[in-house]
């Protein structure tokens, strides 16, 4: 269970550009659920992810995991139980390291990064098998620099790396937005498979309404720091892209656009 309790977030407090994004925002996410989050730019989607991960501080309120306040826990420490994939494929991998080196690094998450050999050759076959499942032909490129791969290939490897070791939460920040439609579909399928297989609690921010409707078991729409739509279970299954789009237009009209 992941809970945001009475969160408020004020950017640039005390200055002329002071903006209040969240004012008493609360949300709770059940263990094992897959939540899609949509909303216009500046509605607070990414800020919400950043607050969960501890990338930005909150002005007030608490973040709880399993009932425990994690407010004091540093960003990097929170990632022990969180995997994250960013919009920019470059952020999830090291461009100058090979696929093998990248995967070895990710495979060691949660353990000590000591003076043992960085690459465990015994695991190579396992890496190759995981890459083969992607169907992108990467299994023969273990010793290729990641930087020379395409954005889609990099994002696929990033996805594998983020979920290689046991984690509880998967944070997806528009992770298909920079990809072409076909590659985006591949990554989305992969995401869904991994989330189901590993029983992860996933929060996916996306601008793709089709993905939001098709995947996940809960759909949130955010607007100016509030949740304006929250559907789960049967209600979510009945929700169509049309319904979401209609809601989108409605909040845009309220904004005066």
Partner 1 sequence: MLDLLISTVTQGCIYALLSYGIYITYQILDFPDLTVDGSFPLGAAVTAVLLTNGCNPYLTLLAATACGALAGLATGLIHVRLHVRDLLAGIITMTALFSINLQIAGSNLPVERTFDTIFTAAPTMAVLGGANLMVRKLILSGILALIGKLLLDWYLKTKSGLLLRATGNNAALVTTLARDKGAMKILGLVIANSFVALSGCIVCQEQRAFSATMGTGQMVFGLAAVIIGSTIFKRVSFVKGTTAALVGSILYKACIQVAISLGLPANLLKLITAVLFLLVLVIGNLKKEASRHAGA
Contacts to partner 1 by CB under 8 A: 74-80, 82-84, 86, 90-97, 101, 104-106, 108-110, 112-119, 162
Q: 210: which 2 tokens?
A: 């089709």
Q: How far is CA 221 from CA 36, 111, 125, 224, 250, in A?
A: 8, 37, 42, 10, 12
Neighbouring-strand partners of residue 110: none
CB of 162 to partner 1, least distance (A): 7
Quick one: 45 or 154, whose CB is closer to partner 1?
Answer: 154
Q: Are strands 34-39 and 201-205 parallel, antiparallel or unpaired?
A: parallel
What's the min distance (Å) between Cβ of 171 and partner 1?
A: 9
Nearer to partner 1, 25 or 79 (CB): 79
Residues 9, 51 contacting (CB under 8 angstroms): yes
Q: Minimum distance between the CB of residue 36 and partner 1, rounded to whole angstroms?
A: 21
DSSP SS3 for 215: coil
The CA distance from 229 to 216, in Å, is: 15
CB closer to partner 1 out of 112 and 238: 112
Distance in Å, CB of 84 to partner 1, minimum? 5
CB atoms within 10 A of CB 83: 26
Q: Burial, 12: exposed, middle or buried (Cβ in 10 Å; 0-12, 13-18, 19+)?
A: exposed
Residue whose CB is less far from partner 1, 164 or 220: 164
Q: How far is the CB of 85 from partner 1 (least distance, A)?
A: 9
Q: Which is nearer to partner 1, 79 or 248 (CB)?
A: 79
Of residues 2 and 213, the one with the C-beta less far from partner 1: 2
How many alpha carbons lie under 13 Å from residue 1 in its C-beta half-sphere?
A: 9
Please report how close the Cβ of residue 89 comes to partner 1 at its closest, in angstroms.
11
Which CB, 91 or 241, lies closer to partner 1? 91
**Residue 43 token pair:** 């509605």
113 burial via Cβ count (<10 Å: 0-12, 13-18, 19+): exposed
Rounded to the nearest 10°, the torsion over CA 66, 72, 77, 79 is 50
Closest approach of partner 1 to the CB of residue 123, in Å: 13
């Amino acid at each position: 269970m992941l809970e945001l309790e009475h969160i408020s977030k004020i950017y640039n407090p005390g200055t002329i550009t002071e903006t209040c994004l969240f004012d008493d925002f609360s949300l709770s996410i059940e263990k094992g659920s897959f939540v899609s989050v949509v909303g216009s730019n500046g509605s607070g989607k990414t800020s919400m992810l950043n607050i969960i991960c501890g990338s930005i501080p909150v002005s007030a309120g608490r973040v709880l995991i399993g009932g425990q306040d994690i407010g004091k826990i540093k960003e990097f420490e929170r990632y022990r139980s969180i995997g994250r994939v960013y919009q920019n494929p470059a952020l999830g991998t090291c461009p100058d390291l090979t696929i093998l080196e990248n995967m070895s690094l990710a495979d060691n998450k949660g353990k000590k990064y000591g003076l043992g050999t960085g690459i465990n050759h015994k695991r190579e076959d396992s890496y190759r098998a995981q890459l083969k499942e992607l169907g992108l032909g990467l299994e023969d490129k273990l010793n290729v620099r990641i930087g020379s791969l395409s954005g889609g290939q990099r994002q696929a490897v990033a996805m594998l790396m983020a979920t290689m070791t046991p984690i509880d939460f998967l944070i997806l920040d528009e992770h298909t937005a920079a990809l072409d439609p076909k590659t985006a579909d591949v990554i989305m399928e992969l995401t869904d498979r991994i989330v189901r297989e590993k029983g992860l609690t996933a929060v996916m921010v996306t601008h793709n309404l089709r993905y939001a409707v098709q995947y996940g078991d809960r759909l949130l729409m955010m607007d100016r720091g509030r949740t304006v739509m929250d559907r789960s279970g049967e209600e979510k299954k009945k929700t169509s892209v049309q319904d979401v789009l209609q809601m989108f237009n409605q909040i845009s009209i309220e904004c005066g656009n």
